[in-house]
Amino acid sequence: NAGVTQTPKFQVLKTGQSMTLQCAQDMNHEYMSWYRQDPGMGLRLIHYSVGAGITDQGEVPNGYNVSRSTTEDFPLRLLSAAPSQTSVYFCASSYSRTPGTSGSIGHNEQFFGPGTRLTVL
Amino acid sequence: GQNIDQPTEMTATEGAIVQINCTYQTSGFNGLFWYQQHAGEAPTFLSYNVLDGLEEKGRFSSFLSRSKGYSYLLLKELQMKDSASYLCAVRENQAGTALIFGKGTTLSVSS
């Protein structure tokens, strides 16, 4: 298993440009999410999805769009990049329910991708 | 409101024991996670607590008191490779698995 993969690893954008950060997982996880990590701010949730066709906003969704057309892929789109979006972006995935149980979440930890380091000039 | 507090930085020496505290105030509670993150890398899962008490996993242990909104991560027999950030995160509800993270504690281990 490749786990959670993210592309690109590094990206430099100019203000106003748009781009898509790619995230894919091969663990058949229902739940996927996007975080940004800034110095002194910790990880903050941008958007998340509990399954194909279902997405919802996290703590800091403004300026970002997501879609979930397949279980495996969860791309994050920056519509018009701003310097405030300079950050490290992590995608994560997990089971929503413990496989083989009656529905308990259990300790389904989130697995993180390697991150995308984005700079907006 | 939601709040998760951890010390910003800690230092310790090789072979010592260190305890990293985490206090939380969240609208719901369905489990507390500890992650380790080395500089420039992704967070990796260390431990999970949902009931009160101590969970031990090798050199690492994690404790939870739900009534006090308090957890700690205990690292024993510290090694240089334990120098990293340690992130406390709370899962708020049963319906989703979104995590709320604290800002992390940077641990520096010296020889």
pLDDT, one tens digit per residue, over B66-80 is 999 999 999 999 999
Q: In this structure, what DSSP letter does residue A101 have?
A: S
Q: Which of residues 48-67 of B touch A (CB under 8 A)?
A: 48, 50
> What pLDDT is recorded for position B13?
97
- Look at B93 and B75; give whichever has higher pLDDT: B75
> What pLDDT is recorded for position A8?
97
**Residue numbers in A near B96 (CB within 8 A):** 31, 48, 50, 56, 96
**Residue numbers in B near A109 (CB within 8 A):** 33, 45, 48
User: Residue ranges of chain A with pLDDT lower than 70?
Assistant: 97-107
Decide the pairing of beta strands B60-65 and B53-57. Answer: antiparallel
Instruction: State pLDDT tens for residues B48-68.
Output: 998 999 999 899 999 999 999
* Burial class of residue B52 (count of CB atoms within 10 Å of its CB; 0-12, 13-18, 19+): exposed
**Residue numbers in A near B31 (CB within 8 A):** 105, 107
Distance CA B75, CA B63 (A): 12
Distance CA A44, CA A68 (A): 20
> What pLDDT is recorded for position B77?
97
Q: Do residue B101 and residue A90 have CB atoms under 8 angstroms apart?
A: no
**Residue numbers in B near A45 (CB within 8 A):** 98-100
> What pLDDT is recorded for position A107?
65
> What pLDDT is recorded for position B58?
94
> What pLDDT is recorded for position A81?
97
> What pLDDT is recorded for position A104?
46
> What pLDDT is recorded for position B92?
81
Name the residue in chain A with its Cα closest to that of B104.
A42
Residue B30 has pLDDT above 70, yes or no: yes
Distance CA B27, CA A6 (A): 31
Q: Which two tokens stand for residue B50?
A: 């949902």
> What pLDDT is recorded for position A1?
78
Distance CA A5, CA A105 (A): 24
Which of A9-13, A52-56, B23-27, B90-94 shows the lowest mean pLDDT across its residues? B90-94
Residues with Cβ within 8 Å of A87's Cβ and at least 6 positions away in sequence, in order, are A36, A37, A38, A118
Report yes or no: B5 at the A interface, CB cutoff 8 Å: no
Distance CA A32, CA A30 (A): 7
At position A112, the amino acid (one-letter code) is: F
Report yes or no: A16 at the B interface, CB cutoff 8 Å: no
Distance CA B102, CA B108 (A): 18
> What pLDDT is recorded for position A69?
97
